[in-house]
Amino acid sequence: MLIKKKLEYPIWKIPYFLIKSLIIFIQIIRTGILTILIENKDFNKQIKLILKILNFILGNKNQKKIGKKLLNCLINLGPGYIKFGQALSTRPDILGKKTCDELKTLQYDLKPILNSVLKKIIHNENKNLLQENLASFDENPIASASVAQVHTAILKNGKKVAIKLLKPNIHKQLFRDFTFFYWATRCLEFCIPGIKRLKLSKNVEILSEVSLNELDLTLEASAADELAENFKDHPNYKVPKIYWEYTTKNMLVLEFIEGIRIDDLESLNASEHNIKKITEIGTEVFFLQVFRDGFFHGDMHPGNILIDKKGNLVPIDFGIMGRLSNKDRQFLALLLTYLLDKNYKKVVEIHDEANMLGKDISHDHLSQAIRAISTPILNKPIGEVSLAKLLGQILSLSKKFNIEVQPQFTLLQKTMLMAEGTTRQINPNINMWELSRPLIDKWINDTHDPFKVIEEWFHKNKLLLLKIPEIINKIDDLLSKK
């Protein structure tokens, strides 16, 4: 509710937003991006015709270097658009490998802060850090992304650390973008009432809250701590240590771990890493985060996953994390299972049991519609199957069948797309969902085990149960007084 109030905009801004949306629309089309989208086989003939007309009227006739033009366009538009580009960089199935390779720059190689400004930021956060706590500090960043940049340093005790610093005025810039996105979705919902079921503005609220939390680095440090606690016994997943004594809202100091990007296949092969094992570990970790813990890394582009010398997966950048309730996890597990089994009647049933369907909806017709959109996706070669894309297709049925879209799955779907995209890049012959299937089946059985349910209830209510003897004693005292 608080984020919704912050995203509200004064009426006088509406004309400005209208002009801005038109300008942005033209700028993006001028990059030549529609040329790539027209070739996408997933679009129907009507959509392709509209894209061709727009491309003919507004598109750039020089189609060379589309990826570079799109990259520069997103950078100039602002950090909110850069985040959108980071997500797109994991989707070669939509934009093609060449364009995605260009967009990968958005993950780590943007314009850095000036050195004079950099030292001022560090001094404001901890005036003694540079002089008293560090043996050395490298002014050249090892990564510079949309909201922050990272430098390496050596502590006086010899430990190598990474220092993450928020960029100046990033709060204002990112909030400006999200306010515009919020207006755009509200405008669409007003102009096209049927689109309200998609809850676009609610999705922007959720993504805004998650992304704006990224601007408090103590929250990121806390998320890293929680993730480390969840995986403290996992042999192949290492979360860097947080140095809380130096960490502030605008500066995060954490353990530096040497590693290779998960999508740098040339370097991974040169270092004799087992790509198949890396894929299996990544799939297992994704499952454990989403289903076991309900707490997952929400920004899983390849730049945020390293492979260390031992072949361990090392996550970095914990600014965007997602949560799912146990009820949400059970629904998702059953949904994925039934989709993989092609049991479309069960898919409809769990939507109905979750009160996500409107009244008088024909289950048979909905089941048939889900089969129609699922079959082309599930019948693809194993490395091309995308359950994340399939979930998006099911959401597209919301208007016709009055399906209540659940906003809490928005970040998860984005994460699923990134995870699938990354898996496909490093090992195109692997289907991460088939690897996850035994784990999901076991989790479903465990969560429906009556003894597990009772154990979980006792765990949740243990504080109340501990008070029972005290309550009984008080009742005895009252009765004895009578």
pLDDT of res. 394: 73
Q: Can you give the pTM of this predicted structure?
A: 0.70
> Does residue 185 lie in a domain region?
no
User: β-strands 134-137, 148-155: how paired?
Assistant: antiparallel
pLDDT at 188: 74
What is residue 310's predicted lDDT score, i.e. its pLDDT?
93
One domain for residues 417 and 477: no
Nearest-10 Cα torsion for 33, 39, 43, 45: 110
In this structure, is residue 187 part of a structural domain? Answer: no
- CB of 267 within 8 A of CB of 222? no
Burial of 466 (0-12, 13-18, 19+ CB in 10 A): exposed
393 and 266 in a common domain: yes
Number of domains in the chain: 3
- Specify whether 423 is located in the same domain as 456: no
CA 456/CA 90 separation, integer angstroms? 38
Same-domain check for residues 303 and 397? yes
Residue 24 in any domain: the answer is no
Verify that 315 and 366 share a domain, yes or no.
Answer: yes
Catalytic residue, candidates 93, 177, 263, 299: 299
Does the annotation mark 293 as catalytic?
no
In a domain, 135, yes or no: no
Q: Which amino acid is at 475?
A: I
Tell me whether residue 428 is in a domain: yes
27-36: b (≥16 Cβ within 10 Å) or e: bbbebbbbeb
Which residues make Cβ contacts (< 8 Å) with residue 472, sequence separation at least 6? none
Residue 239, in any domain of the structure: no
Helix 170-191 vs helix 14-30: crossing angle, to nearest 10 = 100
Helix (H) / strand (E) element for 252: namely strand 251-255
Do 361 and 276 lie in a common domain? yes
464 in a structural domain = yes
Assign 343 to helix, strand or coil. coil
* CB of 411 closer than 8 Å to CB of 294: no
Measured distance CA(30)–CA(63) in Å, rounded = 10
Residue 165 falls inside a structural domain: no
Host domain of residue 400? 262-448
Identify which of 279, 274, 324 has the alpha carbon closest to the alpha carbon of residue 305. 279
Q: Phi-psi region for residue 158, left (φ > 0), alpha (ψ -120 to 50) or beta?
A: left
DSSP code at position 104: G
DSSP 407: G
**Same-domain status, 455 and 427:** no
Nearest one of 3, 75, 72, 61 to 32, comparing CA atoms: 61
Question: For residues 263 and 426, is the Cβ–Cβ distance under 8 A?
Answer: yes
DSSP 438: H
Residues 409 and 476 in one domain: no
Both 408 and 455 in one domain: the answer is no
Residue 114 has what DSSP assignment?
P
Hey, how many other C-beta atoms are within 10 angstroms of the C-beta on 290? 26
For residue 258, count other CB atoms closer than 10 A to its CB. Answer: 9
For residues 391 and 460, membership in a common domain is answered with: no
Co-location of 370 and 427 in the same domain: yes
Residues 365 and 323 in one domain: yes
Q: What is the pLDDT along the chain (482 residues), one digit of tens a residue?
A: 566 777 777 788 888 888 988 898 888 888 888 787 777 665 667 777 877 888 787 777 666 788 888 888 888 888 888 877 876 776 676 677 788 888 877 876 778 888 888 888 888 888 888 888 889 999 898 888 778 889 999 999 999 999 999 988 888 888 888 888 888 888 877 776 665 665 667 777 777 777 777 788 999 999 999 999 999 999 999 999 999 999 999 999 999 999 999 988 999 999 999 998 998 898 889 889 988 898 999 888 788 899 999 999 999 889 888 888 888 888 888 888 888 888 989 988 888 887 777 777 888 888 998 898 888 877 776 567 677 777 777 766 765 676 766 666 767 777 887 788 788 778 877 777 777 778 777 877 776 545 454 545 555 555 665 666 666 666 666 666 65
Q: Please tell me the predicted confidence (pLDDT) of residue 88.
A: 73
Write out the E strands in 45-93: none
In the chain, how many H helices and how many E strands?
A: 24, 10
Residues 6+ apart with CB under 8 A from 203: 185, 407, 410
